[in-house]
Amino acid sequence: MTTWAQGLDGSLWARARDPRTSGVAGLVLGVVACLLALPPIGERSILGPILVGVAASMLGLWTATRGRRRLGWGAVAAGLIGLALGVLATRSSTSNLNIVFTASLIASMFVFSTPLVFGAIGGMFSERSGVVNIGLEGMMLMGAFWGVYGADRGGSWVVGLLVAMLAGGLLALVHAFFAIHLRADQIVGGTAVNFLALGITGYFFFQLYHGEDVPAGVSTIPNLKIPGLDHVHFLGAAFGNLSLMVWLSFALVIVSYLVLFKTAIGLRIRACGEHPRAADTVGINVYAIRYASVVVSGILAALGGAYLSIGFGGGAFTDNMTAGRGFIALAAMIFGNWRPFGAFGAALLFGFSTALAYRLPAYSGSAATLFQALPYVLTLIAVAGVIGRTVPPAADGKPYKKQ
């Protein structure tokens, strides 16, 4: 750990001169250009967004000429889009802006992104070990239903989370068995898992609760109040009262980054996903690693699902509650290029677009509906290679047979 910190310290200046830094700075400035006109800053002249947007584009151009072309052009695009949006926002009425862009928009961004973070990180573990997991949707749905069931019967949200993790893990185990031992097509298996989860949760929902609302007063996951932050302008409303699961999702991203890229276990997982034969040759038990990774992905996805029902859902469950969130989580994982922070960033972006879609009716109701398609369109653009290139693990989806 110390060597890693020293390495970071020594290369600080080298990093600052790296064109990558200027590219990222350009991207950030692009976002700032569009944020300038929004509350709490609320710049009303068009000069601010234009200056910052142009600066972002210049940084992007500089990056592009220094070899990092994709990042550079990305920053140029971010600068121009930020400039356009920023100018547009200064033309919008202040009252509308104040309705849509409040600190609680940040809070609701986290609310919507948290299930996606859990799902996307879960999917990442599975796919990094070489098992495609499009059954995330089903595993989240299992978590959502069995989370409520556990919290209802067990009397505590802790029991709910445990039952959810168990249910998601079991469904993932089914997927793992068919994908790993039986070497079935993993996509067909994932599709089957989604059907099964829909059927199982629906069946028990009608059997146990008659398809109506779960009795009110189910224990729900508490919010964490940060002492002292309440009175801080903006930050208080944005971060002061977030669910425990939101903070857990932040921790999960950091932990999964450390596990995946800084530990021997992470190296083994990635080896199984890139070249299982080589991993097997050096004595790694490919089957065990893949089983463990898929089950972990099911457990994490189920936690994301449980957050839907006994988190911000307030202890309610509805038939097919996830409604495609598992697929957005999958999209976030791909958009984030199978990396923890990438997936986290994508989940935040998708969460933000959902949060925004809920507020856009202030401008136009029908546009808000159309806005919901944005994550999917962005992912299409990402996989088309327009923004960077998405590279899945080399052996992702390929069954491995021991020799």
Partner 1 sequence: MSEDEQGGLVSGAPTVAERLALAQRAGGVLGSLLTAAVAFFVGGLVVLASGANPLSTYRAIFDGSGLNWLFPWVTGDDRSFAAANLQQTLLLTTSLLLCGLAVAFAFRSGLFNIGGQGQYLVGSIIALWVGASFETMDGPLHIVLAIAAAALAGALYAGVAGLLKATVGAHEVITTIMLNWVAVWVGSWLFGHGGALQSHANGGSIPVSDPVSPHAHLPVFWGSPVLQGLDVGLFVALAGLLVYAVVLNRTTLGFEVRAVGFNPEAARYAGMSVARTYVITMAIAGTFAGLAGAVDVLGWEFQLGVNDVQTSQIGFIAIAVAVLGRNRALGVLASALLFGALLTGTSTRNLDPTVFRADLAANLTLIIQGLVVLFVGADVLVLWLWNRRRRLRAAVT
Interface residues with partner 1 (CB under 8 A) are 132, 134, 174, 178, 181-185, 187-189, 191-200, 202-203, 206-207, 211, 324, 327-328, 330-331, 334, 364-366, 369-370, 372-373, 376-377, 379-380, 383-385, 392, 399, 401
Long-range contact pairs involving 214-219 (C-beta distance under 8 Å, separation at least 24): 214/148, 214/152, 214/315, 214/316, 214/317, 215/152, 216/315, 217/315, 218/148, 218/151, 218/152, 218/160, 218/310, 218/315, 219/151, 219/155, 219/156, 219/157, 219/160, 219/310, 219/315
What count of Cα atoms within 13 Å lies in the side-chain half-sphere of residue 102?
Answer: 12
- In the Cβ-directed half-sphere of 206, how many Cα atoms lie within 13 Å? 7
Q: Measured from the CB of residue 228, what is the shortest distance to partner 1 in angstroms?
A: 41
Q: Least separation, in Å, of the C-beta of 376 and partner 1?
A: 4
Q: Which is nearer to partner 1, 47 or 367 (CB)?
A: 367
Taking the C-alpha atoms of residue 99 and residue 347, their distance in angstroms, rounded to an integer, is: 24
Q: How far is the CB of 400 from partner 1 (least distance, A)?
A: 10
- Residue 385 beta carbon to partner 1: minimum distance, rounded to whole angstroms: 5
Nearer to partner 1, 73 or 250 (CB): 73
CA neighbor of 176 nearest in space, from 329, 301, 290, 327: 290
Of 37 and 328, the one with the shorter C-beta distance to partner 1 is 328
Query: Would you say 46 or 374 has its CB closer to partner 1?
Result: 374
- Least Å distance, CB 167 to partner 1, is 15
- Compute how many other C-beta atoms are within 10 angstroms of the C-beta atom of residue 217: 8
Nearer to partner 1, 188 or 254 (CB): 188
Closer residue to partner 1, CB minimum distance, 254 or 381: 381
Residue 345 C-beta: closest distance to partner 1, Å: 18
Nearest approach, Cβ of residue 1 and partner 1 (Å) = 37
One DSSP character per residue, 186-214 reads HHHHHHHHHHHHHHHHHHHHHHHHTTSPP
C-beta of 155 vs 211, nearer to partner 1: 211
Count of alpha carbons within 13 angstroms of residue 158, beta-carbon side: 0
